[in-house]
Amino acid sequence: MTKLLSISALALAASTAGAAAQDIGACLITKTDTNPFFVKMKEGATAKAEELGINLKSYAGKIDGDHESQVAAIETCIADGAKGILLTASDTSSIVSSVQQARDAGILVIALDTPLNPIDAADATFATDNFLAGELIGKWAAAKLGDDAADAKIAMLDLGVSQPTVGVLRDQGFLQGFGIELGDPNKWGDEDDPRIVGNDVTAGNEEGGRRAMENLLAKDPMINVVYTINEPAAAGAYEALKAIGREEDVIIVSVDGGCPGVQNVADGVIGATSQQYPLDMAALGIEAIAQYAADGTLPQPTEGKDFFDTGVALVTGEPVDGVDSITVEEGMDLCWG
Amino acid sequence: MTTSADEAENIDATAAPQAEAVAEFDQQHSTLQRVQHFLHQIPAAVPLIVLVLSIIVFGLLLGSKFFSPFALTLILQQVAIVGITAAAQSLVILTAGIDLSVGAMMVFSSVLMGQFTFRYGIPAEIAIGLGLMAGTVMGVINGVLVAFMRLPPFIVTLGTWQIYLAANYLYSANETIRAQEIEEHAAALQFFGLSFRIGGAVFTYGVVLMLVLVFGLAYALRQTAWGRHVYAVGDDKDAAELSGVQTKRVLVSVYALSGLICALAGWVLIGRIGSVSPTSGQLANIEAITAVVIGGISLFGGRGSILGTLCGALIVGVFSLGLRMAGTDPQWTYLLIGMLIIVAVAIDQWIRKVSV
């Protein structure tokens, strides 16, 4: 009888232990579930969650900028009793109150890719150093131009009028890397360096990239350096330049490292791009949630930074002195999408 | 607008026929009311005046940079896609409906054209044909739901907007087909991006298509039985039905044509952005409705001209480029466009009073 009892007790213990692992719930909330960047992120999170026996649920906005769906997703995760949330916020400021509710409920919230505003609104941020990503392409463009950098004509193709942090960081990083004095580093468009022809917004897609490039070319047709927020916008800008026959004498730089973008570097459409690693962000995020669920450890930021840096590398076919870069082939191996 | 001499003459002129008239409505003749009457007869006049004024204002502000053949034709290029989807939207709104799915039909058609070519190796010309058919079928689905199931157009297209967009993402796996590959293997997909020059002016074939389409539809709406039926259905569906118009057939034809035009817009979209990208055109439905409303077509149906829609799209284009060249924050564009929308609807309401 005692034996039977102890066996059933053991069985019970085993089953609760098994259930405990499955009981760790985690949520992944992305801007959309169609952008290859977030598809890759979901892939990384799902694989790691399966490995660690975590029950992962994924949510996404309908379109980029769909803030309401993300708030609803956070509320669902709270109601669901999740242990951790990985969040790529569409609206980095407005989401803060919802994030606070989740944290009050004892949930670990990690911002992926896009830092919240303020950054410490989340328990941790796992992201590309977007400022550094911008700085790398800025330095590369300046080195590429050499002495001509002193009278370059620069077009800035940004993300959106609401100036989300990721767009601001890349923009400001690029300018700093290029050697242009920044105004307020928390916003773009306030610099008074005459080399900047203007800023325009692209929504991060081809259509917006083309329109923004056309607008700035109408302002000054002699633009010779184009910063773009991401590679689809760069592809659109290239079409606008091609339409006026200037695609050969303009340097386009970008950030992301998606496979079509890296292919565009190979084809000479984009001069250089800074590559980021969404799969790593998500996998590391899931590991951090597992750790937190096990013993309450909070993830620590990279030394000297206020977030955990998941790395960035400059991809170009034409390396320049003084700026580390990887080749197009290496970039292709690591690309996403 | 009218001099006092004109006015005097007018009073004389009206006095005379009134004497011999057998039966005539009592007409009032203040200047304002004559303007109102004039605008009622020519619905494209208001947007045309606004368009000309805005070109003049930006021309004065920015000088030859803006007021150049290059910049002015650039505006045409920038509004080509909105202009074409707005033409489709105009047809539907004239029937007192609304089509929220125009952008979704456009982008899904373009994705189908691209994926058929690259995924299945179908020759581009045939893939384009299939894409155009797919757009038409999407339109027919909208039309049948509206005409035969008698569901409100807003609800129907609210649903199909999301269905077509989701199908677009699911089918494409959100994969972009790069411009370089299209150029190499399926140049026909980029046909509407090709351009030709007349002096300093640059026209793409997409712009030509927009102009041909708008003027063709304007002719069809004014001069053909089908066109008059479209207006009749929008003005008073029951009355149209009683007078022998096959309203259901007219409605389905309008939605089908809307779908086909959106698919054409999808083809133009590939030409414009070079690549096939499933994330394009997310705001096309709102932009199309904006052009239609600023263009003076009544959201209550049966009133307005498709030429007004073209002006509406161009006004938005002029504002966007003009303000950008003046170096203002893009937010100002949205603010002014928003004000224009409200003014346009207010004018529409005011003009309507003439017919009551």
CB contact (8 A) between residue A235 and residue B179? yes
**Closest CA relative to residue A274, chosen from A295, A252, A294:** A252
Q: Higher model confidence: residue A237 or residue B3?
A: A237
Closest approach of chain B CAs to the CA of A198, in angstroms?
Answer: 7
Closest approach of chain A CAs to the CA of B350, in angstroms?
Answer: 35
Residues of B with Cβ-Cβ distance to A264 under 8 angstroms: 178, 180
Q: How confident is the model at residue A265 (pLDDT cuts 50, 70, 90)?
A: very high
**Is A130-275+313-334 the same fold as A9-127+277-300?**
yes
Residue A124 makes CB contacts below 8 A (sequence gap 6+) with A108, A110, A111, A288, A298, A299, A300, A301, A307, A308
CA distance linking residue A325 with residue A150, whole number of Å: 23
Q: How confident is the model at residue A19 (pLDDT cuts 50, 70, 90)?
A: very low
Q: For position A90, what pLDDT does the model report? A: 87
Is residue B173 within 8 Å of A257, Cβ to Cβ? no
- Chain B residue nearest residue A218, CA to CA: B71
CB contact (8 A) between residue B327 and residue A206? no
The first and second tokens of residue B252, run together, are 């389905």
CATH domain B44-351 topology: ABC transporter involved in vitamin B12 uptake, BtuC (1.10.3470)
Q: What is the pTM of this model?
A: 0.82
Q: Which residue, among A69, A159, A239, would best test binding to B if mutated, counting the most B CBs under 10 Å from its CB?
A: A239
Closest approach of chain B CAs to the CA of A154, in angstroms?
Answer: 14
Write the burial class of residue B65 (CB in 10 Å: 0-12 exposed, 13-18 middle, 19+ buried). Answer: middle
Residues of A with Cβ-Cβ distance to B269 under 8 angstroms: 207
Name the residue facing B273 among A189, A207, A337 (closest C-beta): A207
Q: For position B325, what pLDDT does the model report? A: 84
DSSP letter string over B59-127? HHHHGGGTSSHHHHHHHHHHHHHHHHHHHHHHHHHHTT---TTHHHHHHHHHHHHHHHHHHH---HHHH
Residues of A with Cβ-Cβ distance to B78 under 8 angstroms: 211, 214
CB contact (8 A) between residue A239 and residue B272? yes
Is residue B97 within 8 Å of B301, Cβ to Cβ? yes
Name the residue facing A232 among B176, B180, B330 (closest C-beta): B176
The first and second tokens of residue A220, run together, are 């000054």
A:B CB pairs within 8 Å? 93
CB contact (8 A) between residue A36 and residue B330? no
Residues of A with Cβ-Cβ distance to B275 under 8 angstroms: 206, 235
The first and second tokens of residue B199, run together, are 């002096």
CA distance linking residue B352 with residue B43, whole number of Å: 11
Instruction: Return the H-helix or E-strand segment holding B352.
Output: helix B330-352
Q: Which residue, among B161, B279, B282, B323, would best test binding to A if mutated, counting the most A CBs under 10 Å from its CB?
A: B279
User: If contacts are CB pairs under 8 Å, which of residues 212-231 in chain A contact chain B?
Assistant: 214-216, 218-219
Q: For position B294, what pLDDT does the model report? A: 93
* Whole-number Cα distances in Å, B160 to A233, B250, B284, B344: 28, 20, 15, 28
**Residue count of chain B:** 356
CB contact (8 A) between residue A235 and residue B269? no
Instruction: Return the H-helix or E-strand segment holding A25.
Output: strand A25-30
Place of tokens 């580093």: A185
User: What does the pLDDT look like over A195-205, one tens digit per residue?
Assistant: 999 999 998 89
Average pLDDT over residues A292-315: 93
Q: For position B41, what pLDDT does the model report? A: 80
The strand pairing partners of A58, in sequence order, are A28
Instruction: Using DSSP bridges, classify how beta strands A84-87 and A308-309 pair: parallel, antiparallel or unpaired.
Output: unpaired
Q: For position A15, what pLDDT does the model report? A: 45
Give the CA-trace dihedral at A192, A194, A198, A199, to 10 degrees. -40
Residues of A with Cβ-Cβ distance to B273 under 8 angstroms: 206-207, 209-210, 235-236, 239
User: If contacts are CB pairs under 8 Å, which of residues 247-286 in chain A contact chain B?
Assistant: 260, 263-264, 267, 269
The first and second tokens of residue A59, run together, are 């949510």
The strand pairing partners of A155, in sequence order, are A198, A226
CA distance linking residue B106 with residue B280, whole number of Å: 9
Residues of A with Cβ-Cβ distance to B328 under 8 angstroms: none
Is A187 in the B-facing interface, judged by CB distances under 8 Å? Answer: no
* Whole-number Cα distances in Å, B303 to A35, B32, B246, B285, B352: 41, 20, 20, 20, 9
A300 secondary structure, DSSP code: P
> ipTM of this model?
0.78
B30 secondary structure, DSSP code: -
Q: What are the residue boundaries of the structural domains of chain A, listed by start?
A: 9-127+277-300, 130-275+313-334
CB contact (8 A) between residue A161 and residue B329? yes
Instruction: Using DSSP bridges, classify how beta strands A84-87 and A108-112 pair: parallel, antiparallel or unpaired.
Output: parallel
| pLDDT tens, N- to C-terminus, chain B (356 residues) | 444 444 444 444 444 444 455 555 555 578 888 888 888 888 788 899 999 999 999 999 998 888 999 889 999 999 999 999 999 999 999 999 999 999 999 999 999 999 999 999 999 999 999 999 999 999 999 999 999 999 999 999 999 999 999 999 889 988 889 999 999 999 999 999 999 999 889 999 999 999 999 999 999 999 999 999 999 999 999 999 999 999 999 999 999 999 999 999 999 999 999 999 998 888 899 999 999 999 989 888 888 899 999 999 999 999 989 988 887 777 888 898 899 899 988 888 888 777 54
Question: Could you tell me the CATH superfamily of domain A130-275+313-334?
Answer: Response regulator (3.40.50.2300)
Phi and psi, residue A156, nearest 5°: -110, 110
Closest approach of chain B CAs to the CA of A56, in angstroms?
Answer: 21
CB contact (8 A) between residue A215 and residue B324? yes
Average pLDDT over residues A94-110: 95
CB contact (8 A) between residue B65 and residue A198? no
Encode burial over A311-335: b for 16+ CB neighbours within 10 A, e otherwise.
Answer: ebbbbbbeebeebebbebeebeebb
Q: For position A3, what pLDDT does the model report? A: 53
Residue A276 makes CB contacts below 8 A (sequence gap 6+) with A113, A128, A133, A255, A256, A257, A310, A311, A312
The first and second tokens of residue B12, run together, are 């004389």
Query: Does A4 score more than 80 pLDDT?
Result: no
* Whole-number Cα distances in Å, A213 to A210, B112, B183, B268: 5, 27, 21, 19
CB contact (8 A) between residue B178 and residue A263? yes
Closest approach of chain B CAs to the CA of A201, in angstroms?
Answer: 8
CA distance linking residue B33 with residue B39, whole number of Å: 10
Name the residue facing A39 among B174, B273, B327 (closest C-beta): B174
User: What does the pLDDT look like over A170-213, one tens digit per residue?
Assistant: 999 999 999 999 999 999 999 999 999 999 999 889 999 999 99
Residues of B with Cβ-Cβ distance to A219 under 8 angstroms: 65, 324-325, 327
Closest approach of chain B CAs to the CA of A240, in angstroms?
Answer: 8
- Chain B residue nearest residue A204, CA to CA: B279
Residue at A178: amino acid letter: F
Alpha helices per DSSP H over chain A: 2-23, 36-52, 67-80, 96-104, 130-145, 165-178, 206-219, 231-243, 259-266, 278-295, 328-334
CA distance linking residue A286 with residue A276, whole number of Å: 18
Average pLDDT over residues A284-305: 93
A19-33, A79-93, A115-129, B21-35, range with the lowest pLDDT: B21-35
Is A211 in the B-facing interface, judged by CB distances under 8 Å? Answer: yes
Encode burial over A206-225: b for 16+ CB neighbours within 10 A, e otherwise.
Answer: bbbbbbbbbbbbbbeeebbb
Angle in degrees, CA B124, B127, B132, rounded to 5: 125
CB contact (8 A) between residue B175 and residue A215? no
CA distance linking residue A67 with residue B12, whole number of Å: 65
CATH code: domain A9-127+277-300 is 3.40.50.2300
Residue B157 makes CB contacts below 8 A (sequence gap 6+) with B98, B99, B100, B101, B142
CA distance linking residue A186 with residue A168, whole number of Å: 7
User: What does the pLDDT look like over A34-82, one tens digit per residue?
Assistant: 778 888 899 999 999 999 999 999 999 877 778 999 999 999 999 999 9
